[in-house]
Every structure is written in structure tokens, then in C-alpha cells.
């Protein structure tokens, strides 16, 4: 039997079974209890896989210091995806104007002021500046899970504006960082294959903005700096990235002045599991009721 | 021994012990592994307390449909706290202008456009519109944990811009909703007292904006629509709210057209545990190392 793929029918099924709860904005929705349970169990399975690595666990809010995204060139490279937080800083008179516009359903965005916060665009971004200075001899390894934001409203259920990514981040010498990335590329494939997902790894690129961005993407592809583990979820021809591996060379080491113990600029790499996408891939592949999933899949998650 | 309170010394201790990780914006910081472990254990303890209620569990992203905050008058009542999400929707030419301004460290907020998303201001806000229509005979009960945002940058560690709130939300007839609120006011006190915290309940008000807002707050206080369970954390005289109970009467029922099974406009109430504040209250009261906390406190959390 050939599985059939359709963005709309997956969305409708997820809603029908209470796995996602529409809120009226594309790419933003609530998650039901079973959806959350699968997500939590997948994270626990990844945690067991990574336990012997003894990564330092941290957790950051969905907001990030705007200066970090300016300094790291995120805003410049991905302005179309970034979310900046604005708020009202006016007086009573300005508030009367705001009230009046809200009442009359008139635009009121110009009454808002940019704050010092952006929405976190990737789970690893808050990590790098915390390592400004010299790393220990064996570098550093961080385990982080955050909500991230991408401004790309879409009815396609796997293309969300807000979602959670569980990342591991490695900082150190080139040899250490590249070997670690390769180890996790295999681990990522292994754990997703053990869950019965039809995944494969492929070279990928980031969605850099505009004409200039196409050159950055071509360079990234040529140097094989980004890999993704992809799986058919809403399309057989265009599989969905479930897991993403980025080798940044010394980009963040240079920007945030991170040094190895021997004084070289540190390399960094990260890998992220797109948690909601993995849950959706499981529900699409094995059915909307996890109680009826194949026994080997259940054994990985319900240990 | 009289405990000493100081916002600065609590912040410094939290940083020193790795419980919070500064990121350069007041009220935004990372959370360390022990901090997260305490937070998760507290949530589990609340979950045990509430297990027999069989609340429907849902989880929402840190972003919310902007229309919901306009319709519910949140933006009008608390514009100074609200966060609206802006993004870049320009072309290549506009991007060149953005790049140039970023490079020269010039203001670039006017190159951003308001999106359909706001930051979720309270964990319960996304819940109400999902109940538009008629409730079951016994109303509805929801268990929700979300990241929320309040634009009030402060060096005071308990006054965060981004934090998590675990809320329960009750929808139904007046009698049912008020009795439920009273039950939880006692439960909230009981669980925090069992953790050795010097808490008490008091009537409170929301921080409505401006001169008009002061009348709304006075009305709220007079009708005892808001209670807080407070605890000395950074000050003995001005204790910190750890838990907040709001009875909305038929406000959300009217706005979102929520009806009881007999066709009346439904009442709603919610209570929220401020998770980070509770962890900070525990660390302040019992010490920065949970391994040395009093045995009865550990027994509640490390069951």
C-alpha cells in the first residue's frame, strides 16, 4: 500500500483527534494531552541516548536579547523569519489614542515601540554568548530545549510559527566538533529509524533572505555545513526535516569571542530535533492513536 | 534568626549557584538544570493534588492570536505589559536599507511590520476562545502550562519578562465556578505551606494602565475578584505573589460567547502558579542547594 500524503488531510486529522487546537493564526495552535505525551516521551528517549555524554542542561525563555540577534547577523540574514517584540511605552494621552484605534478597528502598530527582546529563532542562539571566554580543555557540550519562532505563516501543519526544538550544542576544536556532529548524524538517523520513520540524511541549506542570501546558501551547500534528517510527512517528493545539523565553523566563536583552551577561536556545531514535527511524523506514519502503534515503536517510547 | 531580604543578593545567589543565567536583558535569563528540576517536581506535586479533578490538559505556544487580545481588551487594559510581534516583510531594496542600518547601529524598528501574533500574556488567554458555544452540563475544567510575557524589565529576579505559569481554568455556572475558586484558594495555600513557605492569601488587583485603570482596580478590589497567595521572597514588607486567583464573572463568557448547558452566559475563573517565583521562594527560604532542604519539603517534591 502506498501511503497518501496531503497537507490538508494531515491538518484535519490532527484537529479531529484533538492533537492540535486551532487558534485562528496559521502556524500557531494548541497541543492536546496525547500530542504532548508523545513529545515528552520522545525527548526522554533522546535523553537516554545522550545520557553518557553528560551535557550541561539549560533552558531559555522564548525571548532573547535583541543585541545577540543583531551581533550574530541573524536579523540581517533572516529578517523575514525574525520576530521582534514591541510594546506600548506612551502616556495617558497616547493610551487614549490607542483605545480609540482599537475600538474603531484601525491600525495601531505605530503606537508600539521596539523593546530589547526578540523571539528566540533557534534553540542554540542564547547558548553561544554564555561561553564568551576560554573553554575547558575538552570544550563544552550543552543540552537545551526552547520554544522558537519563525515568521512564516502557513496552513501546512509542519510549517509552524512557534515550535519547540531540543538541541545539543558542541563547542571546541575543529576535530572534536566535526567528529561529534558526525556521531549525532548517525544517532539521529538511528533513533528515528527505531521509531519506524522512513528517514534519510541529506545536505541542506538555510533560508537566507533575498538575492545575496542565495550565494550564502550555495556556499553552505558546497561546504556541506548543514545536514537534515528528512521524512515524508506531508509529501513523498518533498520530505520534511525532522532533525537539523549545523556546523558553524568559527562563526559564533569569532562573534562571541569563544576560545579553545589553547587560545584558538573555537568551532561550534549544533543539532536540533524538531519536536512537534517528529510527533506529527509518528502520527502520520503509524496512525492518530498511539495505542495502536507497532509494538517496536511503542517499546522505544513507552519504556 | 530574622531572615534578611534583598533583591540584589537573591539575584546574585541565583546566578552564583547556576540557577539563572543572565543574558543581558533585565527579566530575561536562562534556567539551570537544578532550577528546572525543582520546577518540574513542583508541577508534578500540583498534578497529584489535582489528579482526581480530571482536567483536560492542553499546552499553547508563547504566541497568541492578536485578535484575541484585542477582543478581550487585554491590549487596552495592559498596553504597557503587552508584547506584539513584528517582522520584516520588505523586498530586496528594503533589506539593503535594513542591513545598512544594522551595520551602522542605527534604529531599524520602523522597517518592521506588525504580525498577527502577540506574546501570550497569561496562560489562560488562549483557552477561552476554544470554548465558544455551549458547555457540557458540568461545565469545563482545563489544565494549561504556558510561557507568558510581561513587558516590565526589572533587575528584581521575581519580576520577569518571560516566565511559566501553570493554570487551571474553570468554566460554568456562577455557583460552580466560585466554589471551585474557593477550593483551590485553600489547595494553593496548603501545597505552598507543605513546602515550608510563609504564605498567606490576600485580596489583590491587576496592574490596569493609567488613570482609568485605577478605577478598574478599585472595583476589582471591592468585589474581591482577585486573590493572591503571597510569600516574602525579596522583601518582608512587600511579599511576592506566587499564586493568583481571578474570578472573571461573565467577562470572557460574554466576549467569546460561551454558554452554560442551560443557555446562560458562562462564568469563568482561573488560578495560576507562577512556577519560577515558587522555585525562587523555595531557594530563598530553604537555601540554594535543594539537597540540604528540610526533609518534609523534600518528601513533597522528591516522592
Where along chain A do its domains lie? Answer: 7-83+121-301, 86-118
pLDDT at B1: 42
Q: Which CATH architecture has domain A7-83+121-301?
A: 2-Layer Sandwich (3.30)
* Residue B221, pLDDT above cutoff 70: yes
- Whether the model clears a pTM of 0.80, i.e. scores above it, the answer is yes
Q: Stretch A202-229: mean pLDDT, rounded?
A: 94
Report the distance separating Cα B165 and Cα B108, nearest Å.
33
Any idea which residue has 484533538 for its cell? A18
Please tell me which of the candidates B23, B108, B151 has its beta carbon nearest to residue A126. Answer: B23
The answer to whether the beta carbons of residues A100 and A108 sit under 8 Å apart is no
pLDDT digits (tens, 9 = 90+) for B110-136: 999 999 999 999 999 999 999 999 999
β-partners of residue B222 are none
Name every residue whose Cβ is closer than 8 Å to that of residue A188 and which is 6 or more positions away in sequence. A201, A229, A243, A245, A271, A273
The total number of residues written for chain B in this structure:
303
Taking a C-beta distance cutoff of 8 angstroms, is the pair A61, B28 a contact? yes
Q: Which of A85, A104, A105 to mutate to test the interface with B (most CBs of B within 10 A)?
A: A85
**Interface contact A62, partner B, CB < 8 A:** yes
Q: Could you tell me which of A113, A99, A64, A75 has the C-alpha nearest to residue B84?
A: A113
**What is the C-alpha separation between B34 and B40, in angstroms, rounded?**
10
The owner of cell 499546552 is B59
Rounded distance, CA A235 to CA A198, Å?
12
Cα–Cα distance for residue pair B143/B248, rounded to 1 Å: 17
3-state DSSP call for residue A248?
coil
pLDDT digits (tens, 9 = 90+) for A8-62: 999 999 999 999 999 999 999 999 999 999 999 999 999 999 999 999 999 999 9
Strand duo B140-149 + B162-172: pairing:
antiparallel
Which strand (E) or helix (H) includes residue A142? strand A140-149
Contacts of A65 in chain B (CB under 8 A): 23-25, 28
Q: In whole angstroms, give the CA distance from residue B129 to residue A195.
A: 36
Give percent above pLDDT 70 in chain A.
99
Cα–Cα distances (Å) from A29 to A14, A220, B160, B175, in that order, read 11, 32, 25, 32
Three-state secondary structure call for residue A65: strand
- Looking only at Cα atoms, what is the longest distance across chain B? 66
Phi, psi of B202 (to 5 degrees): -150, 155
Rg, chain B, Cα only = 21
Chain A residues touching residue B95 (CB < 8 angstroms): 79, 209-210
Instruction: For residue A57, give the nearest of B36, B70, B82 by CB distance.
Output: B36
Element (H, E) at A168: strand A162-172
ipTM: 0.96
Interior angle at CA A73, CA A72 and CA A79, nearest 5: 130
Q: Is B291 exposed, middle or buried (0-12, 13-18, 19+ CB in 10 A)?
A: exposed
- Which residues from chain B sit within 8 angstroms of residue A85, using beta carbons? 83-86, 119, 149, 151
Distance (Å, rounded) from C-alpha B139 to C-alpha B231?
A: 32
Q: Kindly report the three-state secondary structure assignment for every residue of chain B.
A: CCCCCCHHHHHHHHHHCCCEEEEEECCEEEEEHHHHHHHHHHHHHHHHHHHHHCCEEEECCCEEEHHHHHHCCHHHHCCCCCCEEEECCCCHHHHHHHHHHHHCCCCCHHHCEEEEEEECCCCCCCCHHHHCEECCCCCEEEEEEEEEECCCCCCCCCCCCEEEEEEEEEEECHHHHHHHHHHHHHHHHHHHHHCCCCCEEEECCCCCCHHHHHHHHHHHHHCCCEEEEEECCCCCCCCEEEEEEEEEECHHHHHCCEECCCCCECEEEEEEEEHHHHHHHHHHHHCCCHHHCCHHHHHHHCC
Q: If you average pLDDT over every residue of chain A, what do you get?
A: 96
A20, HSE (Cβ side, Cα atoms, 13 Å): 27
Task: State the smallest CA–CA distance between residue A2 and chain B in angstroms.
Answer: 34
Of residues A81, A115, A130, nearest to B151 (C-beta): A115
Q: What is the pLDDT confidence band of residue A1, given thresholds at 50, 70 and 90? A: very low
As a dihedral over the C-alpha atoms of residue A142, residue A147, residue A151, residue A155, rounded to 10 degrees, the angle is: 120
Q: What grid cell was written down for A220?
A: 553552505
Query: Minimum mean pLDDT among B83-92, B170-179, B203-212, B252-261: which range?
Result: B203-212
Task: Tell me what pLDDT residue B160 has.
Answer: 98
Closest chain A CA to residue B85: A85
Nearest CA in chain A to B81: A87
Measured between alpha carbons, how far is residue B182 from residues B28, B83, B193 in Å?
A: 33, 32, 17
Residue B196 has pLDDT above 60, yes or no: yes
**Cα-Cα-Cα-Cα dihedral of B193, B197, B201, B202, to 10°?**
170
- Contact indicator for B24, A64 with CB cutoff of 8 Å: no
Residue B211: which pLDDT band, with cuts at 50, 70 and 90?
A: confident
pLDDT value, residue A3: 66
Amino acid at each position: 500500500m502506498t501511503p497518501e500524503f496531503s497537507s490538508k488531510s494531515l491538518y484535519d486529522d490532527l484537529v479531529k483527534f484533538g492533537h492540535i487546537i486551532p487558534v485562528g493564526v496559521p502556524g500557531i495552535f494548541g497541543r492536546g494531552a496525547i500530542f504532548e505525551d508523545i513529545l515528552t516521551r520522545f525527548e526522554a528517549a533522546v535523553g537516554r541516548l545522550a545520557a553518557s555524554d553528560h551535557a550541561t542542561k539549560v533552558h531559555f525563555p522564548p525571548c532573547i536579547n535583541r543585541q545577540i540577534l543583531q551581533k550574530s547577523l541573524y536579523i540581517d540574514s533572516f529578517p523575514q523569519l525574525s520576530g521582534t517584540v514591541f510594546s506600548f511605552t506612551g502616556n495617558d494621552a497616547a493610551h487614549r489614542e490607542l483605545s480609540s484605534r482599537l475600538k474603531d478597528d484601525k491600525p495601531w502598530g505605530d503606537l508600539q515601540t521596539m523593546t530589547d527582546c526578540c523571539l528566540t529563532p533557534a534553540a542554540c542562539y542564547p547558548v553561544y554568548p554564555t561561553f564568551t571566554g576560554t573553554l575547558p580543555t575538552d570544550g563544552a557540550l550543552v543540552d537545551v530545549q526552547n520554544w522558537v519562532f519563525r515568521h512564516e505563516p502557513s496552513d501546512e501543519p509542519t510549517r509552524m510559527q512557534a515550535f519547540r526544538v531540543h538541541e545539543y550544542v558542541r563547542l571546541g576544536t575543529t576535530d572534536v566538533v566535526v567528529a561529534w556532529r558526525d556521531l549525532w548524524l548517525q544517532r539521529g538517523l538511528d533513533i528515528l529509524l527505531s521509531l519506524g520513520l522512513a528517514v534519510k540524511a541529506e545536505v541542506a541549506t538555510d533560508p537566507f533572505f533575498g538575492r545575496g542570501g542565495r550565494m550564502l546558501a550555495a556556499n553552505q551547500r558546497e561546504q556541506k555545513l548543514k545536514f537534515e534528517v528528512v521524512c515524508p510527512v506531508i509529501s513523498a517528493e518533498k520530505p520534511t526535516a525532522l532533525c537539523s545539523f549545523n556546523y558553524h565553523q568559527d562563526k559564533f566563536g569569532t562573534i562571541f569571542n569563544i576560545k579553545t583552551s589553547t587560545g584558538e577561536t573555537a568551532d561550534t556545531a549544533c543539532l536540533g530535533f524538531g519536536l512537534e514535527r517528529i510527533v506529527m511524523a509518528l502520527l502520520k506514519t503509524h496512525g492518530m492513536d498511539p495505542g495502536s502503534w507497532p509494538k517496536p515503536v511503542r517499546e522505544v517510547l513507552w519504556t
